[in-house]
Structure 1
């Protein structure tokens, strides 16, 4: 449920454009470079190792010419044989980290120093000018929003009160897939990516706005045009957050929008917001007219009601309408990608390793049986399912880096000097696939997460020692990690309990290739699904 450091696309301009850009930067930043050269650093520790920066522009030319940037970063770190590096992008020191020890030094030992976020075009748009939580720099606004969300929105009692809505969407997921394959005696190929992403979208729409559909939806339980457009726009926004955009490191170039970055993210935000804002405006107006109960404990209350009802110590509304809209978007963005990505990958990996698929379904049959559907109350006993998900978070993270942490003062990490204002990136790929931490790091082995000494010890999705990243840690960790963990387990468990999964008839194996530009599967997963429970289990789902 964490926000993601997603990636850039191939450059779309001829080399002459880049030469022109370099020339403009050289003219604009000459005075800065002269100042930097005049500073004395003889007594300072060295910066972490990294590519030699160009005068003034730093490593922006390499960033531009080596797309996607995250692969370039990881490749040169391997060449330098280092777990911490320094890349200068314009005036900004970007510090990637690939070892658990250094990651803990950043997020545990020096948590207060690295508690802020950078200002980027993507985060500005996604948070309506930095009004929510996840991407907002350290300060009073972040403290205010965290207090409201922690107290009223994502506490354990609130999540328990919304259990029935999450269960409805887990039921609808099973119904949607069953209705696609029920009429074929041998089953049918199903778009797993569509099913997993829409499940996540449905859960948050139901919890936030008490509705599954913005439009009419489909009779079979699937999304309509409105729901598909909504979720697609959320993923576009996520792909543009912290995307190594040139204008984020050379702000005066934002006006030119050379990469089309601003247009893409602003269009996507406009699309998502048109569905949210109308509901929020109507609900606020109803509340002002006294048409809704001002009772946060009413069984019909959703998260939007909770945000509207929140009061400060003087009894006044805690949040403005814009803050409510921003926080609703924040929660949506934080929910749709992580569970859907790990479960899509898990189904793909399991189909290619039938013995793991069999072991997981046998656990569900043993714990739950075939006479009822798995519930959230079963999660503590589904150790192998949780081990499979931990392995997916390790092996197939949704993004290469977590959200950047900005240093609020000069400090030292791993014996290196980290200047104030540096962007520290904890590498999800570097941690989860670190050969010094994991044996056979590129293999899918769920058993590595189950204690040999105590096989019945309860497996947890989160990883406090940062050997891989699920929802980060520290004061800027994801506040919805409990919800994200439950959604991930329920999504995978319902898919495995409800259906036998196999390779589509025209393929020999599932293609596990990653996308060239990010860490998603290169092609959406289509898999053959066949119902495996008694018919009455499916037919009583409404």
Structure 2
């Protein structure tokens, strides 16, 4: 009886992981029942014959799989999954999902776990050694991305480089971005635009200060987000505002709506949506994620698409000889449109274009912020293209490996006093370590990732981050608002952002004429 139970359990497991075998069993069952009905057998003999036939039909594949299973390594530790749904009921009930996943790993005292959602194995990792084993030793195995509702919407059907699965589209986009968009020559030619927006940021904060003689309380999150939005709009579309903007240098309604929508999209790219693991549930949109992201994409497209379409028409009407004003520099949209392949034809379609669209202590502060307060709990998923072995465990083909930004950055086995903000820990004591960079090749925390699916915008992202913090510190003295004794750093219940945006009092620290000389 024990052997029969084990066999039946293994049989059910095979059905869950092998839809083709399940189809065979279903058809065989129906045929067997029809055949049995035509035989003149007692009900007891019919049942016996049915069971015997069923087991004889699947036993070859079943025992073949079982034989391999005995030789196969174990999966990483994790909670016991339910049939069919796995641990989806836990993800649904215990939100946010990333907190539950980290609690499970802490309870199991493991740096690698396996959590089954539907028929997908989620493999979270909190150890730098294991992370390097994934992205250094087995980079080619874990080089593709999963198909999710969020990435489908955001990339117009998996066209953009960050989320597209491994294949020809990824190779094409990587070549275009590396050669025409994020190459050093292009970034250098657009440096003046980034400087313009850094000046505008300082002007905006200074104008807030001028409203009050003793300094003004500034919403730091708001200012930082709008700086990033302004830089990207200026570099991509050669404009700071979609609308009129505000006279003091701040964003108008259009810019605030645009940036807010972009952050909604980023938040829901990989958000453990139920329908990503049980596709038939997508029609119900139980969590409301699809409506949120579709509305956000519609808002972003409302601002992007008319500009893109107009620029493409201008170029087509001039047969590819379209030139902007003699005083204008080519922006990134021009670079995307003008990119050609080996035959001289445009590299990107309209849809593809629309889808893309030495301060050591400052850098040390940024590294420490990335370590202790990451923007997201996990890095983008790395999907295994074949069976693999990681940290002595079996990782099935199709598994989603998630490097935990939280677990790596706050790992007490890696960092002394991991919950303490200590920028000094990133400044080396040898000449070799004197230059501080925001990248972390040893994966002790995740900044821009590494490997073939690492972020291609490392140089641009690093520069923007350094300029943002450096200009705010250079131009102003910062202190607590008068009615507060400390900054509340409590995290939101649903993500890793502060529950409330940080407000701080800014006071100009440079000569007044330096601020008035900034661009208007």
- TM-score calculated relative to the size of structure 1: 0.83
Equivalent of residue 468 in structure 1, options 427, 442, 445:
445
What is the aligned-residue RMSD (CA, Å)?
A: 2.1
Aligned to 1:287: 315
4+ long deviations beyond 3 Å: 28-39, 291-299, 453-456
2:61 is equivalent to residue 84 of structure 1: no
| 1:185 Cα deviation from its structure 2 partner | 2.2
Which residue is equivalent to 2:90? 62
- Note if contact 1:33-1:55 (Cα within 8 Å) is conserved in structure 2: no
CA contact (8 A) 1:296 1:309 kept: no
For residues 99 and 409 of structure 2, what CA distance do their matches in structure 1 show? 15
Deviations 1:46-79 (A, max 9, x none): 0000001112211111111110000000011011
Contact 1:294-1:309 at 8 Å conserved across structures: no
Residue in 2 aligned with 1:326?
Answer: 355
Stretches of structure 1 lacking an aligned partner (at least 5 in a row) = 1-27, 329-379
Matches within 5 A, 1:204-243: 204-243=232-271
Q: Name the counterpart of 2:381.
A: 404
Kindly indicate whether the alpha-carbon contact (under 8 Å) linking 1:148 and 1:310 is maintained by their aligned counterparts in 2. Answer: yes
Q: Distance in 2 between matches of 1:90 and 1:409?
A: 19
Q: Does 1:43 align with 2:90?
A: no
Give the distance between the partners of 1:474 and 1:138, measured in 2 at CA: 13
CA distance in 1, matches of 2:322, 2:180: 14
In the alignment, the residues of structure 1 paired with residue 172 and residue 320 of structure 2 have an alpha-carbon distance, to the nearest angstrom, of 25
Cα displacement (A) at 1:294: 4.8
29 and 266 in structure 1: CA distance in 2 versus 1, 3 angstrom threshold? farther
SS in 1 for 2:70: coil
Separation of aligned partners in 2, 1:474 and 1:193: 31
Could you give the per-residue CA deviations for residues 453-475 of structure 1, whole angstroms, max 9, x where no partner exists? Answer: 44981111111000001000000
> Helix, strand or coil for the counterpart of 2:71?
coil
- TM-fit CA distance, 1:33: 11
Q: In the aligned structure 1, how far is the partner of 2:257 from the partner of 2:127?
A: 38
* Alignment counterpart, residue 100 of structure 1, candidates 128, 145, 151: 128
Distance 2:324 2:182 in 1: 13
Alignment partner, residue 524 of structure 1: 501
Q: How far did 1:89 drift?
A: 0.3
Pick from 435, 456, 473: which aligns with 1:479? 456
Structure 1 residue 172 corresponds to structure 2 residue 200? yes
- The separation in 1 between residues aligned to 2:120 and 2:324, in whole angstroms, is 44
The residue number in structure 2 matching 1:128 is 156
Distance (whole Å) between structure 1 residues aligned to residue 211 and residue 273 of structure 2: 48
Which structure has more relative contact order (CA 8 Å, sep 6+)? It is: 1
Match of 1:347 in 2: none
Q: Report the alpha carbon displacement of residue 290 of structure 1 after superposing the two structures with TM.
A: 1.1
CA distance in 1, matches of 2:127, 2:268: 26
Name which of 306, 328, 341 aligns with 1:312: 341
Shift of 1:452: 2.6
Which whole-Å CA distance do the structure 1 matches of 2:320 and 2:511 have between them? 42
Match of 1:114 in 2: 142
Looking at structure 2, the residues matched to 117 and 514 of structure 1 have their Cα atoms a distance apart, in angstroms, of 28
Decide which structure has the larger Cα Rg and report it. 2
CA gap 1:416/1:455 in 2 versus in 1, 3 angstroms: closer
Cα displacement string for residues 172-192 of structure 1 (whole angstroms, at most 9, x for unaligned residues): 000000001124221010111
Give the SS at the match of 1:282. Answer: helix
CA distance in 2, matches of 1:504, 1:99: 39
Q: Distance in 2 between matches of 1:34 and 1:317?
A: 45
Q: How far apart, in 1, do the equivalents of 2:249 and 2:220 lie?
A: 14
What are structure 2's unaligned runs of at least 5 residues?
Answer: 1-14, 23-57
Shift of 1:482: 0.6
Please identify, of 59-68 and 292-301, the stretch whose mean Cα deviation from structure 2 is larger: 292-301
Give the match for residue 189 of structure 2.
Answer: 161
Tell me the equivalent position of 1:390: 367
Matched, 1:149 2:177: yes
Inter-partner Cα distance in structure 1 for 2:277 and 2:325 = 46
SS in 2 for 1:129: coil
* Equivalent position SS for 1:93: strand
Distance, in Å, in 1 between the alignment partners of 2:170 and 2:17 is: 35
Establish whether residue 509 from structure 1 lines up as the match of residue 482 from structure 2: no
Deviation at 1:256, TM superposition (A): 1.4
Matched residues in 1 for 2:447 and 2:433: separation? 22
| Partner in structure 2 of residue 351 of structure 1 | none
- Match of 1:42, SS state, is helix
Does structure 1 conserve the Cα–Cα contact (< 8 Å) formed by 2:478 and 2:504?
yes
CA distance in 1, matches of 2:347, 2:435: 39
Report how far residue 257 of structure 1 moved. 1.2
**Quick one: structure 1 residues 455 and 181, their matched pair in 2 at CA, closer, same or farther if it must change by over 3 Å?**
farther
Q: Secondary structure at the match of 1:500?
A: strand
Q: Does 1:440 align with 2:417?
A: yes
Equivalent position of 1:533 in the other structure: 510
Partner of 1:246: 274
Q: Measure the CA separation in 2 of the matches of 1:217 and 1:105.
A: 48
Kindly tell me: are residues 295 and 478 of structure 1, through their superposed partners in 2, closer, same or farther at Cα, counting changes over 3 Å? farther
Contact 1:33 / 1:56 at 8 angstroms: preserved in 2?
A: no
Cα distance in 1 for residues equivalent to 2:409 and 2:229:
27
Q: Give the Cα–Cα distance (whole angstroms) in 2 for the partners of residues 413 and 104 of structure 1.
A: 10
User: Secondary structure of 1:527's match?
Assistant: strand
2:476 pairs with 460, 479, 499, which one?
A: 499
SS at match of 2:506: strand
Change (3 A) 1:58 1:455: same
Residues 307-352 of structure 1, C-alpha deviations (whole Å, 9 max, x = no match)? 0001111111111101110111xxxxxxxxxxxxxxxxxxxxxxxx
- Tell me the residue number matched to 1:187: 215
